[in-house]
């Protein structure tokens, strides 16, 4: 029984070391959302959530798996890291929207998004393919995220004579998407 306990402790230590190593990896500006360390918003809450989740998950897994504590520890730590990471990323996104925004022409815009001359828009749109969100209404501006095919969003405004759509999340403009890759929801293309 004592050897089994040592194996469980070694498994927990290895899992925590791996989790800490993953959490310490740098996050680039082009990181995609929903990875263990690839949150689309800046901050360290995702990494912290992954670490805390791994520790708690490992401890719970160790206690729940009576006969296979080592495996329970590893599985619990992995599940806890994933859950903590997801929660931390959501907190980072909310904090990022609330902290870093300004008002341009009456629209609240994230501080990394360029102002433009806007025309009023509104309503729910859907992405017709996976497409990049840009910091300005041009393909020469930086990527700040993406919309996946089928993802819906609120169109805050149009820019460049309707060629670009300012995407809103929680009332804040978070980036521009080329209008050729989105359409209003409920819109049906006529077949000829």
- Hey, CA dihedral for 90, 92, 96, 98, is it positive or negative? positive
On the question of pLDDT at 175 being above 80, the answer is yes
1-15, 65-79, 89-103, 165-179: segment of lowest average pLDDT: 1-15
pLDDT at 86 > cutoff 50: yes
pLDDT grade for 13, boundaries at 50, 70 and 90: very low
User: What structural domains does the chain harbor?
Assistant: 2-99 (no CATH), 102-184 (2.30.30.40)
Confidence of residue 187 (pLDDT cuts 50, 70, 90): low
- Residue 109 CB contacts under 8 Å (≥ 6 apart), including other chains: 101, 102, 103, 115, 166, 172, 173
Average pLDDT along the chain: 78
Q: Which residue has the tokens 């993406």?
A: 146
Which value, in Å, is the radius of gyration of the alpha carbons in the chain?
22
Confidence check: pLDDT of 114 > 80: yes
Residue 42: C-alpha distances to residues 2, 25, 33, 148, 151 (Å): 44, 14, 11, 20, 22
User: What is the mean predicted confidence (pLDDT) over 79-105?
Assistant: 78
pLDDT, tens digit (0-9, with 9 covering 90-100), for 137-165: 999 999 999 999 999 999 999 999 889 99
- Choose the weakest-confidence range: 23-37, 80-94, 144-158, 169-183: 23-37
* Terminal C-alpha separation, the chain: 74
| Residue 121 pLDDT exceeds 60 | yes
Give the model's confidence band at 48: pLDDT under 50 very low, under 70 low, under 90 confident, else very high: confident
Q: How confident is the model at residue 192 (pLDDT cuts 50, 70, 90)?
A: very low
């Amino acid at each position: 029984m004592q050897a089994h306990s040592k194996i469980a402790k070694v498994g927990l230590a290895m899992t925590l070391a791996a989790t800490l190593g993953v959490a310490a990896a740098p996050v680039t500006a082009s990181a995609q959302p929903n990875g263990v360390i690839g949150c689309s918003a800046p901050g360290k809450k995702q990494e912290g959530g992954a670490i805390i989740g791994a520790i708690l998950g490992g401890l719970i897994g160790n206690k729940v798996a009576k006969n296979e504590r080592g495996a329970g520890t590893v599985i619990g730590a992995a599940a806890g890291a994933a859950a903590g990471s997801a929660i931390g990323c959501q907190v980072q996104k909310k904090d990022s929207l609330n902290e870093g925004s300004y008002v341009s022409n009456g629209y609240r815009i994230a501080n990394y998004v360029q102002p433009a001359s806007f025309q009023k828009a509104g309503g729910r749109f859907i992405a017709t393919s996976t497409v990049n969100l840009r910091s300005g209404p041009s393909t020469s501006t930086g990527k700040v995220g993406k919309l996946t095919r089928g993802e819906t969003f609120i169109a805050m405004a149009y820019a460049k004579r309707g060629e670009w759509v300012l995407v809103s999340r929680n009332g804040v403009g978070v980036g521009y998407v080329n209008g050729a890759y989105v359409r209003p929801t409920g819109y049906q293309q006529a077949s000829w």
